């Protein structure tokens, strides 16, 4: 048992002050990354802003915002790339920004990404601070900022928006705000297909809380039988500090149980609503969205295609270096997840991270996208954040500063080269 269930949530102003060092560090890291990108792009006679707002997936989101759904590209090999593969929340926000300001849809996507990245950083801090304390929260945010593909956080992509919604939904779960968690999961489900991970976290946490309530109720009944003269205390509401009912305490009251159920009902509506709409729009029924993804050669094969891709790298010497790097990368992701389990991260975080990681590594999509697809799996960074938080501040700052410089240079090189999708 930790103090997760008993620690009171700070006020909004107090929470912002508490998160200020993490947010300031995040802004500094991202500013460094953007500066490196602009300098590198200028040296190559390219527009850094175009790279951030008008290439790859960013163009598809702008087309949805401008023209709506129905646009597709038919390739010579028979593949059909339809914009129905892109979930609607980011294009909706781009359209909203363009409607209320002189900005273009692409400008709106960039603005949404910048604001969302700050919201995501704050959400990551809030989750890590709640589980491991303030220093670990600051380290978690900075680690997320200095990821090698961290430049995507500043692109007109949906990763930052999704991570912000997911992080705050998880925080709402950890603090027992079930309706808020469900609403944020709904919006996350309108942002990316991996919104299923947020839904799973909300549902598993709620079901676990119901199970704890039943155990607490059973324990209370046995205690009453053992001590018939003990005074009866009416059950109180669930403590707002967490979704768990600690052993020996009274179960949650009817109001809290109702809010849990409402949160569970709300959570899947975004993902389910869009997927069902696509099926209706295409005339292919509930599984029509899978056909849309198949047109992009996206699917879930349990990781077989990715394993073959990695194995093929070992057929020649220069490629073998990349194969070794990929193997180390996948092993590191698995190790971080197992470490999180051993450190007894809260169940919602483990469920969320497990689903995000499985969908990223076990999909048969474009293999170069996998690091980007893992960006929302921020709880993987918590073991590293906890380790850094235990070091001296100077040493932690030196490590993070060096990695930040390397990340900025790599991001500039990557985006001017192969880059996303």
Q: What is the pLDDT of residue 12?
A: 73
Q: How confident is the model at residue 237 (pLDDT cuts 50, 70, 90)?
A: very low
Q: What is the pLDDT of residue 10?
A: 66
Whether the pLDDT of residue 227 is over 60: the answer is no
Whether the pLDDT of residue 225 is over 60: the answer is no
Whether the pLDDT of residue 228 is over 60: the answer is no
Q: What is the pLDDT of residue 2?
A: 39
Burial class (CB in 10 A: 0-12, 13-18, 19+), 331: exposed
Q: How confident is the model at residue 158 (pLDDT cuts 50, 70, 90)?
A: very high
For 257-295, how does the pLDDT look when each residue is reduced to its tens digit (9 = 90+)? 999 999 999 999 999 999 999 999 999 998 899 999 999
Q: How confident is the model at residue 28 (pLDDT cuts 50, 70, 90)?
A: very high
Q: State which of 16-30, 214-228, 238-252 shows the largest mean pLDDT.
A: 16-30
Burial class (CB in 10 A: 0-12, 13-18, 19+), 44: exposed
Mean pLDDT of the region 126-144? 97
Q: What is the pLDDT of residue 6?
A: 41
Burial profile 133-172: b = 16 or more Cβ within 10 angstroms, e = fewer = eebbbbbbbbbbbbbebbbbbbbbbbbbbbbbbbbbbbbb
Q: How confident is the model at residue 113 (pLDDT cuts 50, 70, 90)?
A: very high
Cα dihedral sign, 130-131-132-138: negative
CB atoms within 10 A of CB 321: 11
Helix, strand, or coil (residue 323)? helix
Q: What is the pLDDT of residue 222?
A: 55
pTM for the whole thing? 0.90
């Amino acid at each position: 048992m930790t103090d997760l269930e008993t620690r009171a949530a700070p006020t909004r102003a107090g929470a912002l002050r508490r998160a200020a060092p993490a947010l300031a560090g995040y802004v500094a890291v991202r500013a460094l990354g953007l500066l490196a990108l602009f300098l590198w792009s200028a040296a190559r006679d390219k527009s850094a802003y175009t790279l951030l707002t008008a290439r790859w997936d960013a163009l598809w989101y702008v087309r949805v915002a401008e023209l709506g759904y129905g646009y597709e590209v038919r390739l010579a090999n028979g593949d059909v790339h339809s914009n129905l593969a892109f979930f609607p929340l980011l294009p909706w926000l781009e359209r909203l920004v363009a409607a209320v300001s002189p900005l273009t849809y692409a400008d709106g996507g960039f603005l949404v990404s910048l604001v969302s990245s700050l919201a995501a950083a704050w959400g990551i801090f809030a989750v890590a601070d709640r589980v491991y304390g303030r220093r670990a929260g600051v380290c978690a945010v900075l680690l997320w900022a200095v990821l090698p593909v961290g430049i995507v956080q500043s692109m007109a992509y949906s990763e930052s928006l999704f991570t912000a919604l997911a992080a705050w939904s998880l925080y709402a779960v950890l603090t027992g705000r079930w309706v808020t968690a469900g609403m944020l999961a709904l919006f996350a489900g309108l942002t990316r297909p991996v919104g299923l991970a947020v839904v799973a976290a909300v549902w598993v946490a709620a079901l676990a809380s119901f199970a704890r309530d039943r155990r607490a109720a059973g324990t209370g009944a046995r205690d009453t039988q053992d001590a018939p003269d003990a005074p009866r205390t009416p059950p109180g509401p669930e403590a707002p500090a967490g979704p768990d009912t600690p052993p020996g305490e009274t179960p949650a009251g009817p109001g809290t149980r109702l809010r849990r159920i409402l949160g569970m009902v709300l959570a899947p509506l975004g993902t389910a609503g869009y997927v069902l709409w696509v099926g209706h729009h295409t005339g292919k029924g509930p599984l029509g969205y899978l056909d849309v993804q198949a047109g992009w050669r996206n699917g879930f094969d349990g990781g077989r295609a990715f394993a073959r891709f990695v194995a093929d790298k070992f057929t020649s010497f220069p490629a073998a270096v990349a194969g070794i790097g990929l193997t180390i990368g996948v092993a590191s992701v698995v190790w971080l997840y197992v470490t999180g389990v051993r450190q007894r991260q809260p169940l919602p975080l483990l469920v969320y991270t497990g689903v995000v990681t499985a969908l990223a590594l076990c999909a048969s999509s474009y293999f170069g996208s996998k690091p980007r697809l893992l960006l929302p799996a921020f709880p993987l960074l918590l073991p590293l954040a906890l380790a850094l938080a235990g070091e001296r501040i100077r040493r932690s700052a030196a490590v993070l500063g060096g990695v930040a410089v390397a990340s900025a240079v790599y991001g500039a090189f990557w985006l001017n080269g192969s880059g996303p999708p």
